[in-house]
Amino acid sequence: MKYALTILLCLSALFSNGQNLKLNQLKSFIGQPVSSVTDSLVHRKWVERPELSGVQGRQLYKTFSYGNHESEQSKALSWFRIQADDEVINQLYYQLNGIVAYNLILKEIKEAGTEKKDIQDIENKQISTYYLSNDYIFQTIIGTDSYTVMVMPNKNP
């Protein structure tokens, strides 16, 4: 039984790896062409959601979902949104699939030499916290069973 559980855990980790993005991967998407990042996400089994994507002038946003909850097949495990000007990504939002994944990426943010800003927003039962580094601005957004990280370049270090 112990070995069966170990194998099951290893297999679940193997098949869920596509959704678990590290902070360095998120940062590497900034400044990249939309087509390149789209190809990378689709290769990792993310699904582009055209109904939640759009273009307005020179600005574009694309939304992707990953997997489905066991209990609610219509609900995705994770969400990812990229925003771009002139087809170059300048901001992204990554909604993680739970508190464990969120805590791992928060730890990476803190270890990246960021400065936590004293300003915290509380709106619509969500808490937003900001972290600044020389190169990036991070925002964490925590709501009821919702954990999101925003990444964008810091143009004013």
Domain that holds residue 143: 2-153
pLDDT in tens, 96-107: 988 999 999 999
Is 68 in a helix, a strand, or coil?
coil
Total domains in the chain come to 1
Exposure b/e, 59-74, CB count within 10 A at least 16 = b: ebbbbbbbbeeeeeee
CA distance 151 to 146: 17
Instruction: Tell me the two tokens of residue 100.
Output: 């464990």
Q: Across the strands, what pairs with 93?
A: 81, 150
Over its length of 157 residues, how does the chain's per-residue pLDDT go in tens digits?
A: 443 333 333 333 333 445 689 999 999 999 999 999 999 999 999 999 999 999 999 999 999 999 887 766 668 999 999 999 999 999 999 999 889 999 999 999 999 999 998 777 777 788 999 999 999 999 999 998 899 999 999 987 6
Alpha helices in 17-156 (DSSP H): 23-29, 34-43, 99-111
pTM of the model: 0.83
Report residue 98: phi and psi, to 5°.
170, 175
Alpha helices in the chain (DSSP H): 2-16, 23-29, 34-43, 99-111
CA of residue 100 relative to chain centroid, distance: 14
